[in-house]
Structure 1
Amino acid sequence: MHHNTQHTFVTHDQTKLFYQHWASKHTATPTPFKQDQSNHDQSHHAQSTSDKKAILVFHRGHEHSGRMLHLVEELNLPDFDFFAWDARGHGQSPGERGDAPSFSACVKDIQAFVQHIQEQYGIQSENLAIIGQSVGAVMAATWVHDYAPKIRALCLASPAFDIKLYVPFAEPGLRVLNKIKGNFFIQSYVKSNMLTHDLERAASYDADPLIARAISVRMLLGLYDASKRIVDDAQHIFVPTQILCSGSDFVVRRQPQQDFYQKLPHPQKEFHILDGFFHDTLGEKNRIVAMQKIRRFILQCFAQPYRAPDVLNADKIGASCAIAENLSATLPEKSLKNAFWQLIKNNLKIGSLFSTGLNIGEKTGYDSGSTLDFVYRNQTESRNPVGKIIDRQYLNAIGWRGIRVRKQHIEQLFTRYAEKIQQHKPLHILDIASGHGRYILDAVAQLKQPPESIVLRDYSEINVKAGTDLIQQRGLSAIAQFFQADAFDAQSLASIQPKASLAVVSGLYELFSDNDLLRQSLYGLSQAVEQGGYLIYTGQIWHPQQAFIARALTSHREGDAWVMRLRSQAEMDALVEQAGFQKVNQCIDEYGIFTVSVAQKI
């Protein structure tokens, strides 16, 4: 029998979330694994000898960890610890019922939960399996896609990629209302007897005081958006995955579950339709069938050692390579498609006569340091009213909103790790492609004590000049220097003095699809960073306007088309790891576009 204890953990925004732990029969007492907290980023290297295994369980919407309790015995996996949380706004966790700051905040909660389990219980991520149901399954799949954790298995029971009937007036109506009214709540009218044939379980659902029937519209719309993106981009989930689809599900549609499954790249994947099952797949009368499938799948995944996905050559073969290649192919001259994109290009040129923002983009490239600086300033800088309107629309594009969130994430992680370093040793900052350097100098301004040195580098003379002016304006000339240099020159990077304790490479690697270039740069960086130092790096794992950008916008490189190859988080992390770093933290914007990660040189 598993021994049950109840706990809380502190998540990314300092909220305390409730979870339950069932220790495996090998764990005599549930004493949490403790260690020096100041050192917690290295913690999961210290425990690499541990072979403890665990299963994390994520409940469906409206419910809580107590409703998953039966899994612990029914799965009959005595060698595994089990963990189940109450998502925020559910069960015994705080927050308004059925609500959260955003769907992505809940996904980030999973990241914090897993880090907590690694640190407190000494369990490596390679020894984790995930079971998620309905909304919990979508959260788990989004986490695996966005954070690329190295886990052993993912089991999704009726993932709620597309909800049928929570909403009397469909999704577009909700979006309009949300704009007018702000956040509001929708009552679920799914009756317990539409969830399961198990009368006892249905009755306990009706009687459970911890179940709340409402869901907030921002959570619902966040769920829709994340689902669309994850189903669309499932080729970047590199984990053995099993999907259990209920055959008579009144709540969620089957098609997106099948679309998702079709795109999964891992050879070990399974799709099961459980005939006659209602939506509560793991709480159905005949759930023993589901339990046997999950049990076999998890044991089989653990019967072989963990293998990291082979993604280091994704620039030369595979989905992301093929998509980028197709977007860079010229369209037939007389085709409708070509006429459409020519029209859009001409509109941008005309717009640039009025709008400062578009003018900078047309002149210097939409991916240039100058464009980025305009996006960060976030002001309508045109003199004329038409230009002001265009500027505002341009600055509100989803990609630019994501870029500004990325800047906040860089500053947050920069401050956190800079202060961590300053507790023990001097802080030497390095940025190898600084643009104008604004975001780094903004971040430095927030530090309690100044760094020992700041080295900024960029290939562009314009940027070096603008950055040097900024350094003087801010009175940092004594500690900061700006050099013109190539971020892909390994030898030049390796010779940087003093060695950096905190290096940043932001918005650079996303612009180059060739992994060999990144290898050179990261190899040089690993020489430039001292042992135990940190590297902050950015990624772009998805973009809703990839085709628009490739067909309509020009790049800073000789006015070529700006064709982006999107690198999965798993690929980006693997390249950084190959250079001798280990990822310890990560953030992503709520649109799912830009990631900011921290790795430590080991």
Structure 2
Amino acid sequence: MTEHVVTGTHGAIAVREWPCPRPRCLVLVVHGYGEHAGRYGELAAVLTGYGAAVFAPDHRGHGRSAGERVVIEDFEDVVTDVHTVARLARSVHPDSGLPLFVIGHSMGGLIAARYAQRYGDTLAGLVLSGPVIGDWELPGRLLAMEEIPDVPVAPAALSRDPAVGAAYAADGLVWHGPMKRPTLEAFARTLRTVADGGGIGPLPVLWLHGDADRLVPLPGSRAGVERLAPDSTTVRIFPGARHEVFHETDRAEAFAEVTRFLDGVLASWDGPGPRCLRR
């Protein structure tokens, strides 16, 4: 792994790169709320083994990046930061014309969906894992309270694998405190923005979700995915899986779904642009 620092919209953004000597494609991994890119080393290993060069930022206020912890006042700025990381990836592989994919988990799914609305003509495909998109009720429920309760994410809600919860609880780069009002307000605004932002056309999308996800319930995400990409989405729902399908007991199946999706897109890749895929 190589580490970079880029200048984001509100300070330094730490970026991890998992290199691949002769990549077939570029992948941006967009992490979720309160965590950091370093939790995706196993996914990155699968992707680099497949032939992808992988880049993953710690968002503002997360991991090793600058900013008050877990405070995001405008997700549009985070989308812009992710685009800066895409430019970094292109600079590491100049003149390659490699297809670019974005994989977004949870809050990262919201960021990735908005990225596709803003920069979809630069993408070959989009992967959404347990995405915060559509009808997610938590921000409205917490914002209605006078004081936001200090209830951190329960490690057991992430995966049936107890080692995942233990590692999460012991991770000093993970935020274990309460959600913060500015971030909740930004969530609510961006959920509306994505809902009103229209579909992303023929861009291929893979949606992965656990049907036992209590943090981002399946029905709410379904509504958002269907609005975003009604005709170009491949869906895989994992029975019994909790929030983090890439850290679940059957994560090998989730990894296989991703590589099959990449295979399908790359087989018909014809360069960037609105009509990048042969139909």
Coarse TM-score class (shorter-chain normalised)? 0.7 to 0.9
Measure, in 1, the Cα distance between the counterparts of 2:226 and 2:87: 30
Q: CA deviation at 1:135?
A: 0.2
| Matched-pair contact (CA < 8 Å) for 2:20–2:48 | no
Task: Identify the range of structure 1 (117-126 vs 232-241) with the bigger mean alpha-carbon deviation.
Answer: 117-126
Residue 16 (structure 2) aligns with: 20
Matched, 1:196 2:131: no
Residue 85 (structure 2) aligns with: 113
Measure, in 1, the Cα distance between the counterparts of 2:243 and 2:182: 23
Q: CA deviation at 1:90?
A: 0.7
Residue 63 (structure 1) aligns with: 35
| Matched-pair contact (CA < 8 Å) for 1:62–1:212 | yes
Label 1:234 to 1:173 Cα distance change in 2 as closer, same or farther (>3 A): same
TM norm structure 1: 0.42
Query: Could you list the per-position Cα deviations for residues 212-263 of structure 1 after superposition, in whole angstroms to 9, with x for gaps in the alignment?
Result: 1243222222112212332344424542111112100111132232223323
| Matched-pair contact (CA < 8 Å) for 2:18–2:48 | no
Residue 358 (structure 1) aligns with: none
| Matched-pair contact (CA < 8 Å) for 2:161–2:249 | yes
| Matched-pair contact (CA < 8 Å) for 2:205–2:229 | no
Residue 270 (structure 2) aligns with: 306
What SS class does the counterpart of residue 170 from structure 1 fall into? Answer: helix
Query: Could you list the per-position Cα deviations for residues 537-588 of structure 1 after superposition, in whole angstroms to 9, with x for gaps in the alignment?
Result: xxxxxxxxxxxxxxxxxxxxxxxxxxxxxxxxxxxxxxxxxxxxxxxxxxxx
Label 1:25 to 1:257 Cα distance change in 2 as closer, same or farther (>3 A): same
Matched, 1:8 2:5: yes
What SS class does the counterpart of residue 4 from structure 2 fall into? Answer: strand
Higher relative contact order (CA 8 A, sep 6+): 2
Measure, in 2, the Cα distance between the counterparts of 1:246 and 1:84: 23
User: Sequence identity, in percent?
Assistant: 24
| Matched-pair contact (CA < 8 Å) for 2:143–2:184 | no
Select 2:25's aligned residue among 33, 37, 53. Answer: 53
Q: CA deviation at 1:280?
A: 1.4
Select 1:122's aligned residue among 87, 94, 110. Answer: 94
Measure, in 1, the Cα distance between the counterparts of 2:60 and 2:241: 28
Q: Larger C-alpha radius of gyration, 1 or 2? A: 1
Alignment of 1:578-597 (within 5 A): none
TM norm structure 2: 0.87
Label 1:149 to 1:217 Cα distance change in 2 as closer, same or farther (>3 A): farther
Label 1:237 to 1:63 Cα distance change in 2 as closer, same or farther (>3 A): farther
Label 1:170 to 1:130 Cα distance change in 2 as closer, same or farther (>3 A): same
Residue 239 (structure 1) aligns with: 203
Select 2:65's aligned residue among 93, 115, 121. Answer: 93
Residue 239 (structure 2) aligns with: 275
Query: Could you list the per-position Cα deviations for residues 88-133 of structure 1 after superposition, in whole angstroms to 9, with x for gaps in the alignment?
Result: 1111111111013422211121122212222343266761111110
| Matched-pair contact (CA < 8 Å) for 1:18–1:86 | yes
Q: CA deviation at 1:200?
A: 1.1
Measure, in 1, the Cα distance between the counterparts of 2:8 and 2:78: 10
Residue 129 (structure 2) aligns with: 157
Residue 117 (structure 2) aligns with: 145
Residue 144 (structure 2) aligns with: 173
Measure, in 1, the Cα distance between the counterparts of 2:222 and 2:79: 23
Q: Which amino acid aligns with 2:3?
A: Q
Query: Could you list the per-position Cα deviations for residues 287-342 of structure 1 after superposition, in whole angstroms to 9, with x for gaps in the alignment?
Result: 111111111001211111236335xxxxxxxxxxxxxxxxxxxxxxxxxxxxxxxx
Select 1:79's aligned residue among 51, 55, 60. Answer: 51
| Residues paired across the two proteins, number | 273
Residue 212 (structure 1) aligns with: 175
Label 1:267 to 1:164 Cα distance change in 2 as closer, same or farther (>3 A): closer
The answer for unaligned runs of 5 or more in structure 2 is: none
Q: CA deviation at 1:140?
A: 0.9
Label 1:78 to 1:67 Cα distance change in 2 as closer, same or farther (>3 A): same
| Matched-pair contact (CA < 8 Å) for 1:126–1:150 | no
Measure, in 2, the Cα distance between the counterparts of 1:114 and 1:257: 26
Label 1:216 to 1:171 Cα distance change in 2 as closer, same or farther (>3 A): closer
| Matched-pair contact (CA < 8 Å) for 1:17–1:86 | yes
Measure, in 2, the Cα distance between the counterparts of 1:11 and 1:193: 33
| Matched-pair contact (CA < 8 Å) for 2:210–2:240 | yes
Matched, 1:294 2:266: no
Measure, in 2, the Cα distance between the counterparts of 1:233 and 1:259: 14
| Matched-pair contact (CA < 8 Å) for 2:117–2:199 | no
What SS class does the counterpart of residue 271 from structure 1 fall into? Answer: strand
Measure, in 1, the Cα distance between the counterparts of 2:201 and 2:274: 10
Q: Which amino acid aligns with 2:4?
A: H
Residue 552 (structure 1) aligns with: none
Q: Which amino acid aligns with 2:240?
A: G
Q: Which amino acid aligns with 1:306?
A: D
What SS class does the counterpart of residue 187 from structure 2 fall into? Answer: helix
What SS class does the counterpart of residue 191 from structure 2 fall into? Answer: helix
